[in-house]
Amino acid sequence: MTDDRQSLVRVLGRGDVLALGFGAMIGFGWIVLTGDFVDAAGSGGAALAFVVGGVVMAFVGLAYAELVAAMPHAGGEHHYAMRAIGPKGALVASWAMVLGYVSVVAFEAVAVPQTLVYLLPGMEAGRLWTVAGAEVHASLAAVGVATAILMTAVNYVGIRPASVLQTVAVLFLLAAGAVMVTGAFVGGSAANMEPLFTGGVPGMAVVLVAVPFLFVGFDVIPQSASEIRLPHRMIGALLVLSVFCATAWYVMVVLTAGSGLSAAELLDSELASADAVSAMWNSPLMGNLLVLGGVAGLLTSWNAFLIGGSRLVYAMARSRMLPDWLGRLHPRFHTPSNALLCIGALSLAAPFFGRPMLVWLVDAGGLNIVVAFVTVVVSFLVLRRREPGMERPFTVPAGVPVGVVALVLSLGLLLLYLPGMPAALGWHEWTMVGVWWAVGAVLLWRLPRVPAGPDAERRLVGLMDGGARG
């Protein structure tokens, strides 16, 4: 196999990497879903649930941090599972995470036009059809499709333009956060936050089940490791730091929004955080400013997951798990252009399903993200036992206990999605997951048996190429 990983240009510095990971985790859910979270668990309960979720993600993030420092290649978990579990484990981890990435990209394609309705009331035009009781309009679908094409084009022409877009959008996002915090002191009220805790454990479960979808993004850093020009140890440290930054953001959002409006008012609001800011500042203009911050969050997560998803698809194609043309780099831009076009094309369909698609994507994507997290943590523990001498520029202290805790917590998150649990998936989500994994089963069936190890990918490629020639 001709290894062209180094053809991916190493241009990302410290600020780029932190903006990539943090921005990926701060999408639009903090604008839309805050009312549901506060209603389910109270402001204090929702904040506590995010702290718990952040701790879970931090443990998983530590496993990722050690692995990305040891194997800084585009594709992240694909390479970790390949070395620890073998090709079939790598395919499970990668295929699950690809659905997670695609679901986020598609989510943003739906959320952008829905957000603009708040800023431009009455822009719905050209009713197309109804999906799950919600009307789909041609004008909103067109905005979603146009934005998807634009975001894909930015990523197509190089990692540097995508990185600049990420940094600018994150800075605007942080400015919106400052507006929220200041507003809580200007016009917030502790009385609005009472009672701080409602709903008990089931209420917190409603928040926790959204954690994988809201926090997924730190894993984009390993996906782009071949384009980072930093010491390998620092890559791992920045990954963990991005998780802590995202945790602080979500705790800040539910507490400040909770001080602006009561739980009932937040639940009745279409964009709860924005309406809370309008109330705190007594100015609709400030609410609109926060919505623009939400748009910035949409763009940061959209951009990051196009980067991460395309690199993961690229890595799978390089291993011959997907068609070879998905593993080609653009000769001029040095981007996995075909993989980018494929993910961009998948996102074009989402706007035609309208608002209900938002919930379906959160749940179906979240389940698969947790499956990938579990596989990565298992890979971390296996490599700690089987290859204790492997070079680890970033070494997690008490690695095995940390890995065991991460595995238990990840499995606990996985249980929340199963039938009978408070946040069980509905039939729409299970249909999406079932179709995706039906294709995944075919891909698994095609793979020959190859033992795990440092040269597992090379042997797999040799067998697949030999079979193709035969």
Per the CB < 8 A criterion, the answer to whether 274 and 287 are in contact is yes
Among 259, 216, 293, smallest CA distance to 30 is for 293
pLDDT interval class at 402 (50, 70, 90): very high
CATH number, domain with residue 16 = 1.20.1740.10
In a domain, 376, yes or no: yes
Judge whether 107 lies within some domain: yes
Whole-angstrom distance, CA of residue 258 vs CA of residue 193: 5
Give CA–CA dist 361/110, Å, rounded. 10
User: What's the mean per-residue pLDDT of the chain?
Assistant: 85
Half-sphere exposure of 291 (CA within 13 A, CB side): 21
pLDDT of residue 322: 92
pLDDT at 47: 92
**If DSSP codes are grouped into helix, strand and coil, which group holds residue 85?**
coil
Helices 77-84 and 356-386: crossing angle, nearest 10°? 40
Burial of 178 (0-12, 13-18, 19+ CB in 10 A): exposed
Tell me, yes or no, whether 232 lies in a domain. Answer: yes
Q: What is the DSSP letter of 228?
A: B
- Using DSSP, state whether 332 is helix, strand or coil: coil
Tokens of 387: 């290859």
Q: What is the pLDDT of residue 4?
A: 41
Q: What is the C-alpha to C-alpha distance for residues 74 and 76, in angstroms, rounded to an integer?
A: 6
Collect all residues with Cβ–Cβ distance below 8 Å to 97 and sequence separation of at least 6. 77, 219, 312, 368, 369, 372
110 pLDDT higher than 60: yes
pLDDT at 257 over 60: yes
**What's the confidence (pLDDT) of residue 382?**
95
Q: pLDDT at position 236, please?
A: 84
The predicted structure's pLDDT at residue 357: 67
% of the chain beyond a pLDDT of 90: 28
- 282-299 average pLDDT score: 88
- In-domain check, residue 4: no
List, for residues 228-239, the tens digit of each pLDDT value.
888 888 888 888
pLDDT exceeds 80 at position 437: yes
- Per residue in 57-68, pLDDT (tens digit) is 888 889 988 998
Residues 6+ apart with CB under 8 A from 120: none
What is the pLDDT averaged over residues 110-133? 79
Q: Is the dihedral of CA 449, 451, 452, 454 positive or negative?
A: negative
Does the pLDDT value for residue 344 go beyond 60? yes
Mean pLDDT of the region 256-284: 88
Q: Is 127 exposed, middle or buried (0-12, 13-18, 19+ CB in 10 A)?
A: exposed
Q: Which residue has the tokens 């100015």?
A: 283
Helix axes 200-208, 34-70, angle to 10 degrees: 50
| 37 contact partners, CB below 8 Å, separation of at least 6 | 46, 49, 206, 207, 210, 254
Residue 354 vs residues 112, 145, 350, 367: alpha-carbon distances, Å: 11, 12, 7, 21
State yes or no: pLDDT of 3 exceeds 50.
no
- At 5 the pLDDT is 43
Residue 470 lies in a domain: no
Q: Which two tokens stand for residue 379?
A: 């890979």
Structural domain total, the chain: 1
Three-state SS for 417?
coil
Nearest Cα residue to 90 out of 463, 468, 389, 453:
453
Domain-located, residue 469? no
Is 7 part of a structural domain of the chain?
no
Q: Is the pLDDT of residue 6 over 50?
A: no
For 451-462, the DSSP string reads --STTHHHHHHH
Stretch 204-217: mean pLDDT, rounded? Answer: 78
Q: What is the mean pLDDT of residues 74-101?
A: 90
Confidence band, pLDDT 50/70/90 cuts, at residue 359: low
Q: According to the per-residue pLDDT averaged within each range, which of 84-98, 290-304, 404-418, 450-464 is highest? A: 84-98
Amino acid in position 353: F
**Cα 17 to Cα 110: distance, rounded to the nearest angstrom:** 26
Per-residue pLDDT at 470 exceeds 60: no
Which residues fall within 8 angstroms of residue 387, CB to CB, at 6 or more apart? Answer: none
CA distances from 181 to 94, 348, 381 (A): 38, 36, 40
Percent of the chain with pLDDT over 70: 95
Segment 149-169 shows an average pLDDT of 89
Range of the domain at 271: 12-462
- In the predicted structure, residue 356 carries a pLDDT above the cut 70: no
User: Locate tokens 């709860």: which residue?
Assistant: 272
Task: Reply yes or no on whether the pLDDT at 27 is more than 60.
Answer: yes
> pLDDT category, 386, cuts 50, 70, 90?
very high
pLDDT at 86 (0 to 100): 92
